[in-house]
């Protein structure tokens, strides 16, 4: 079973605001990128009849995942679905190669390579009663709304925007120690 914990800031997000300014003003994505959101995303994978209940209790008991004075958090039960597709630099597009008026919404998860938080997983596992926590991953979820002609162009735009290849291209992912997974890409109505 997979259980995702989404953690949003209650106040303004300066990292998000800085990313938007850099993406539009420095990297040339103005007019293509319509909106960007950012939050932390934790993924608990485990088993047990009371898995969700025990994980929720542990998250509420500690401030490692959520600081209630500055965060809103909610659990999303994702069952056993596949967790996205890895981004590769070969599919990256530059802003000049992206056009179209169709609107797309992408969810991009950036983690350290592998995403595993093994020491934290062991700490949480020690506090569970009957459930087994097999894996604990954490990273930053970016939600990006953009314009592109087709799904493959939208995916290439998200990849080009995300993977840093120089000072002039890419921003959200450093390929030397991070990886990105495109969790979803869907067309949205205007």
pLDDT tens figures, 94-132: 999 999 999 999 999 999 998 899 999 999 999 999 999
Structure tokens given for 115: 């995403």
Residue 24: partners with Cβ closer than 8 Å, 6 or more residues away: 30, 33
| pLDDT at residue 163 in the model | 97
Q: What is the pLDDT of residues 28-61, one digit of tens each?
A: 999 999 999 999 999 999 999 999 999 999 999 9
Question: What is the pLDDT, as a whole number, of residue 190?
Answer: 60
pLDDT digits (tens, 9 = 90+) for 124-173: 999 999 999 999 999 999 999 999 999 999 999 999 999 999 888 999 99
In this prediction the pTM is 0.92
pLDDT for residue 64 is more than 80: yes
Q: State both tokens at 110.
A: 């950036």
Residue 45 — left, alpha, or beta (φ > 0 → left; ψ -120 to 50 → alpha)? beta
Report DSSP letters for 108-160, one per residue.
EEEEETT-B-HHHHHHHHHH-SS-EEEEEEEEEEEEEEEEESSHHHHHHHHHH
Structural domain boundaries in the chain: 2-188
Residue 80 has pLDDT above 70, yes or no: no
């Amino acid at each position: 079973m997979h259980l995702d914990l989404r953690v949003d800031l209650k106040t303004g997000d300066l990292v998000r605001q800085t990313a938007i300014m850099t993406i539009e003003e420095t990297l040339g994505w103005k007019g293509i990128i319509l909106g960007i959101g950012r939050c932390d995303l934790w993924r608990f994978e485990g088993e047990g009849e009371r898995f969700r209940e025990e994980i929720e209790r542990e998250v509420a008991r500690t401030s490692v995942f959520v600081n209630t004075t500055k965060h809103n958090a909610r659990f999303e039960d994702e069952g056993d679905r596949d967790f996205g597709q890895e981004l590769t630099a070969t599919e990256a597009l530059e802003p000049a190669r992206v056009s179209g008026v169709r609107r797309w919404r992408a969810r991009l998860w950036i983690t350290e390579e592998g995403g595993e938080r093994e020491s934290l997983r062991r700490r949480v596992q020690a506090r569970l009663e009957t459930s087994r926590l097999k894996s604990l991953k954490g990273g930053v979820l970016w939600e990006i709304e953009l314009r592109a002609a087709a799904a493959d162009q939208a995916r290439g735009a998200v990849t080009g925007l995300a993977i840093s290849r120089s000072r002039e291209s890419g921003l959200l992912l450093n390929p030397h120690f991070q990886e990105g997974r495109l969790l979803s890409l869907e067309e949205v109505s205007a």
